[in-house]
C-alpha cells in the first residue's frame, strides 16, 4: 500500500471516529442530567452552586462531552485497530486482541473503586475540614472538574499491572528486578498517592497506596508470565 493510500485510509478512519463521537455526544445529552446527579451524589445534602451565567451550561456540555467520548471509545478503538492491524505480525495481533479488553476492564475497575470507595471519603473530608472556620460552598464547575480528573487518574493507575507486563515482555524489566526494587517502588507509589489524593490525611492516602501496592504485586506475577 502506497503512502497516499495509507493517508486516505487514515482520513476515512478519522472521519468515521469523528462521526461516532458527534453522535455519541448528541445521544449523551439525553442523560447528562442523570450523570450530573450521580457525580454530585457524594456531596450528600449539600448542593453545589454556579456563580457565572454560563457555568451550568458549560458544565453540562463538559459532562456530555466526556460521556460521549466514553460511548464512542469502542468505535474509535476499533477504527484505530483496523488501521494498524495490517502492519502487525500475527503474534503481535494476538497481544492486541486481549490487551484492549484487559485495559478497558482495568480502567473500569479503577473508576468503580475511585467512585464508590475513594471519592465519598475525599469529599466528606474536604467538606468538613475547617468547618468551624468557614462554610463549604462549592461551584458545580469546580466540583465536576475535580471529580472527573480524580476518577480519570485513579482509573489510569489501575493500568499498572498491564504496563509492567509489557515492559517485561519487551525485556526492559524482570520479575527479580521488580522484587529487588520493591522498596523504591513503594516510595514512588507513596509520592504518586500524595499527588493524586486530594486530601493530605494518611487515611485517604492509604486508600490509594494499598491498591497500588497490590497492583504492583500483580504486575510482578504478570512479569513472570511474560518471561
Point out the least confidently predicted range of 22-31, 118-127, 208-217: 118-127
- pLDDT, tens digit (0-9, with 9 covering 90-100), for 135-150: 888 999 999 999 998 8
Q: Computed from CA positions of residues 127, 129, 135, 138, in that sequence, does the dihedral angle turn out positive or negative?
A: negative
pLDDT of amino acid 199: 67
Residues 6+ apart with CB under 8 A from 44: 124, 127
The band of 1, judged by pLDDT with boundaries at 50, 70 and 90, is low
**62: closest CA among 13, 113, 20, 28?**
28
Q: Which residues contact 16 (CB under 8 A, 6 or more apart)?
A: 75, 79
- Residue 177 CB coordination number (10 Å): 12
Give the pLDDT of residue 61.
Answer: 94
Closest CA to 177 of 227, 214, 136, 139: 227
Look at residue 217 in the predicted model and tell me its pLDDT: 94
pLDDT at 117 over 70: yes
Q: What is the mean pLDDT of residues 49-56?
A: 90
- CA–CA separation, 214 vs 210, rounded Å? 6
The helix/strand/coil state of 66 is helix
CB 152 within 8 A of CB 172: no
Amino acid at each position: 500500500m502506497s503512502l497516499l493510500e495509507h493517508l486516505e485510509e487514515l482520513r476515512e478512519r478519522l472521519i468515521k471516529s469523528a462521526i461516532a463521537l458527534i453522535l455519541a455526544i448528541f445521544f449523551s445529552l439525553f442523560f447528562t442530567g442523570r450523570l450530573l446527579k450521580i457525580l454530585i451524589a457524594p456531596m450528600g445534602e449539600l448542593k453545589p452552586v454556579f456563580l457565572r451565567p454560563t457555568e451550568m451550561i458549560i458544565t453540562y456540555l463538559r459532562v456530555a462531552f466526556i460521556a460521549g467520548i466514553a460511548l464512542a471509545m469502542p468505535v474509535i478503538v476499533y477504527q484505530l485497530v483496523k488501521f494498524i492491524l495490517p502492519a502487525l505480525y500475527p503474534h503481535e495481533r494476538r497481544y492486541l486482541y486481549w490487551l484492549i479488553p484487559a485495559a478497558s476492564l482495568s480502567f473500569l475497575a479503577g473508576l468503580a473503586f475511585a467512585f464508590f470507595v475513594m471519592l465519598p471519603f475525599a469529599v466528606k473530608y474536604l467538606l468538613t475540614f475547617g468547618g468551624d472556620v468557614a462554610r463549604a460552598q462549592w461551584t458545580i464547575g469546580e466540583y465536576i472538574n475535580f471529580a472527573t480528573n480524580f476518577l480519570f487518574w485513579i482509573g489510569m493507575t489501575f493500568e499498572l499491572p498491564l504496563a509492567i507486563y509489557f515492559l517485561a515482555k519487551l525485556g526492559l524489566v524482570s520479575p527479580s528486578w521488580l522484587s529487588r526494587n520493591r522498596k523504591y517502588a513503594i516510595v514512588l507509589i507513596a509520592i504518586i498517592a500524595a499527588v493524586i489524593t486530594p486530601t493530605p490525611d494518611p487515611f485517604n492516602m492509604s486508600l490509594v497506596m494499598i491498591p497500588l501496592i497490590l497492583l504492583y504485586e500483580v504486575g510482578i506475577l504478570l512479569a513472570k508470565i511474560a518471561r
